[in-house]
A and B are shown apart, each in its own frame.
Chain A
Amino acid sequence: MTSFLKELANEMSVTAAAEVPGAAPAPAKMAVEHLNLFYGDFQGLRDVNLTFPENQVTALIGPSGCGKSTLLKTLNRMNDLVEGCRVEGSVLLDGADAYRTLDATDLRRRVGMVFQQPNPFPMSIYDNVAFGPRSHGVRAKADLDVIVEESLRAAAIWDELKDRLKKNALGLSGGQQQRLCIARALAVQPEVLLLDESTSALDPISTAKIEELIGQLKERYTVIMVTHNMLQALRISDKTAFFLLGEVVEAGDTDTIFSAPIDPRTADYVAGRFG
C-alpha cells in the first residue's frame, strides 16, 4: 500500500512538473462559500469553502458523522426536508445562488442525486427512467423511448435490461437497481451528479462496474461523491476533500491528499489510523 502510494507520488511529481506551465484552472461548476449548517442547535458544517471543477470527479471523505453527506445534501437542497435544518453562507451553481435565486426543484433537476440505498420506484424499469422526463413535460412516446435507451446506455445497463423494460424494477439485483437509479438521474439531463456512498450497499463486482461508469460519466457531468472507501476515492476521483467534525481539513488533488497530505490529521486518516 505505502509503496504503491510512493510510486504514485513519484510518478505524479514528474508529470506535475511537466504540466504546470500549460495548465489552466478548471472552471468551477459548483462552489460553496462560508457554508454553515445547523440542525437545531447542532452545527453540522463549519465554514466550508470548496469548489467543484467541471467535468471532474470530486470525492468527499472522512469518518462517519463528519458532515460529508450533509454537505452533499446541501448541494441539491435535500436538506430542506429535514426539520430544523438551517443553512448559512452560499451554494453556487454556475455562479447562481442555489438557496436564494434558484428554485429548489429546478436546482434538483440540474443537480442529480444517487442515494446510498438503491431506491428505484415500485414501477417498471421503463417507467422508472421515463419518470423524470415525463414529469418535466416530455409526453411523446418516441422521445421517451430515445431518452430511456440513451440513459440506460449511459449507465451501462442497457444491454442487460433492454429485453425486460416492462418488468418491475424491484426485481433487479442491488447493483442493477443502483445503475438504474443512475440512469434515472441521467434521464433528466443533470449538469452535476451527486453520489452518496452509492456503492456501499453493493457487492465488489457491482461496485467496480459503477466506479468504471463514474469514470466515463465525468466526460459529460461534474461528479461529486461521498465515499467511505479511500481506495475508491483514490481510484476514481480527481479532487478530494477530507472532512472532520463538520470542517474541511484539507482539500486538493486526490493524489496530493493521498501521497503528500499537509495536515497530520489527513495523513493519519489516509494511512488508516482512525475512521
Chain B
Amino acid sequence: MLFSLLNVPPASASTAAGSGGAGAPGAGAGLAAAGVPAAARVPKRRPHVLREGAARALFGTAAALSIAAVALICLFLLANGVPAMAEIGLPEFLFGTTWRPAHDLYGIFPMIVGSLYVTAGAMIVGVPGGLLTALYLSRFARGRTGSFLRSGVELLAGIPSVVYGFFGLVIIVPFVRLFGPGTGLSVLAASLILGIMILPTVITVAQSALDAVPARYYEGALALGVDHEHAVFKVVAPAAASGIMAAIVLGLGRAIGETMAVVMVAGNMPIIPDSLLSGVRTMTANIVLEMGYAADLHREALIATGVVLFVFILLITMLLNVIRKRGEAR
C-alpha cells in the first residue's frame, strides 16, 4: 500500500511530541517532525499521500499527548513538591506527627494514617456489599429487578461527590453523632460515605468480570451435581478472581483519592484519630483545605502532600497492572 512508505516510526513521533510538549503541547511540532522526512521519501508527490501522512502524524500526536500529560504532571508536581520535602526533611515530613504551618511544622503522618484509616473503612463498608451485589446482578437477578438495579448503579456512579458529601453531612454525620461523644464528623462517617461512593465502581467492574466467565465452567459444575449457588460461588467467582481483585483495587484508588465528600464529613483535625468517632484529616483534605490561602513553604508542603498521594496512586495503578497481567496470563 502506498502510504506504508510514510510509516513514521512510532518512537520518533512520540519524542517529537514529547519534546514539543514540554514548552507548549502543540500538534505543530509533532506534525512538522513527522511530515518532512516522509514527504522527502516519496518520489511523486500525490496529494492524497500527503494527506494520509498528515493524518497519521496528527493522530499519532494526539496519542502522544497523553504521554505528555503524564510527563507534565509528574514534572510539575515533583518540581514544586520535592524542594519542600528536602527543606523540611523527608523523615520529618513523612513521619512528623505535627502539622502546624504557623510554626513551620509540616508533618503529614496524621494525614497519611488518616487516608489509610478512611480508605480501609471504606473498603470494609463497600467491598463485601459491592461484590455480593455484582454476583446478584450477574447470576441471580432476573428480568425487571436486575435492569432496575443496573440503572440504579449507573445513577450511583453518576452522582457528583459533592452531593454525596452533602448527603453525608446532613444524614450520616447526625446519625454517627447518636453513637457517642463528638460532632459526628469522624472516621466512621467518612468511611460510610466513601463506602457508598465506591459501590458503583466495585459493582460494575466485578460484574463485567463475572459476566465474562465462560458458561462452560458453570455448566461443568452443574453437571457434577452442584447447585446453582455453589457453582456460582465456588467456580464462577474464583474464575473471575483477577477481575474481582481489579474491582477492589479500583475502589481502593477511588477511596484514597476522593476529596470533596471526605472534606465535608471527616472533621479535618490534623491529628492521628484514636477512635472511629474522632475526626480525621486525609491527604486530599489537607490539600483542599489550606491551598486557598497557603504561601511559600506551606504551599509547597501541600504540593508535596499531593506528591505523596500521587505515589500512593501510582502504586495502586501498578498493582492493578500486575493483577490484569495475571488475569490475561491465565
Contacts and interface: CB of A to CB of B under 8 A. Distances in A.
Interface in B188-221: 214, 216-217, 219-221
Contacts of A181: 220
B226 A132 contact: yes
17 contacts: A78-B222, A81-B219, A105-B225, A105-B227, A106-B225, A112-B224, A113-B223, A119-B219, A120-B220, A121-B220, A122-B238, A122-B239, A131-B234, A135-B224, A184-B224, A188-B224, A188-B225
A131 to B, nearest CB: 7
A259 interface: no
Given A105-B226, A106-B225, A119 B220 contact: yes
A117 B235 CA distance: 17
B41 interface: no
A228 interface: no
Nearest to B215: A81
Nearest to A108: B225
A265 interface: no
B239 A76 contact: no
Contact of A119 (B217, B225, B230, B234): B217
Contacts of A81: 219, 222
Contacts of B219: 78, 81, 115, 119
Interface residues of B, number: 18
A61 interface: no
A170 B234 CA distance: 17
A57 interface: no
A135 B219 CA distance: 15
A185 interface: yes
Report which residue of A76, A112, A135 has the largest number of chain B beta carbons within 10 angstroms of its beta carbon. A135
A109 interface: yes
A181 B224 CA distance: 10
Given A115-B220, A121-B238, A121-B239, 11 more contacts: A78-B222, A81-B222, A105-B222, A106-B225, A108-B226, A120-B220, A131-B224, A131-B234, A131-B235, A135-B221, A185-B224
A52 B231 CA distance: 29
Nearest to A116: B216
Interface of B: 214, 216-217, 219-227, 230, 234-235, 238-239, 330
A110 interface: yes
A123 interface: yes
B255 to A, nearest CB: 29
Given A131-B234, A170-B330, A108 B223 contact: yes
Report which residue of B214, B225, B227 has the largest number of chain A beta carbons within 10 angstroms of its beta carbon. B225
A117 B225 contact: no
Contacts of A76: 223
Contacts of B235: 121, 131
Contacts of B224: 108-109, 112, 131-132, 135, 184-185, 188
List the 3 shortest-distance A-B pairs measured between CB atoms, nearest first.
A109-B225, A119-B216, A113-B223
Nearest to B223: A113
Interface in A153-190: 168, 170, 181, 184-185, 188
B217 A121 contact: yes
A136 interface: yes
A110 B224 CA distance: 8
A7 to B, nearest CB: 39
A267 B275 CA distance: 84
A132 B214 CA distance: 19
Given A105-B226, A106-B225, A113-B223, A135 B238 contact: no
Contacts of B214: 119
Given A105-B227, A135-B234, A121 B221 contact: yes
A105 B219 CA distance: 12
A181 B214 CA distance: 16
B330 A132 contact: no
A136 B225 contact: yes
Contacts of A122: 217, 238-239, 330
Interface in A18-66: none
A168 B330 CA distance: 9
A82 B330 CA distance: 29
Nearest to A134: B234
B12 to A, nearest CB: 41
Nearest to B230: A135
A123 B217 CA distance: 11
A70 B111 CA distance: 63
B234 to A, nearest CB: 7
A14 to B, nearest CB: 41
B216 A115 contact: yes
Report which residue of B216, B238, B239 has the largest number of chain A beta carbons within 10 angstroms of its beta carbon. B216
B239 A135 contact: no
A112 B219 CA distance: 12
A13 to B, nearest CB: 40
Nearest to B240: A122
Interface in A58-99: 76, 78, 81
A106 B220 CA distance: 15
Nearest to A117: B216
Contacts of A120: 220
A170 B329 CA distance: 11
Contacts of B223: 76, 78, 108, 112-113, 115, 185
B294 to A, nearest CB: 52
A170 B327 CA distance: 13
A113 B225 CA distance: 10
B316 to A, nearest CB: 25
A168 B223 CA distance: 21
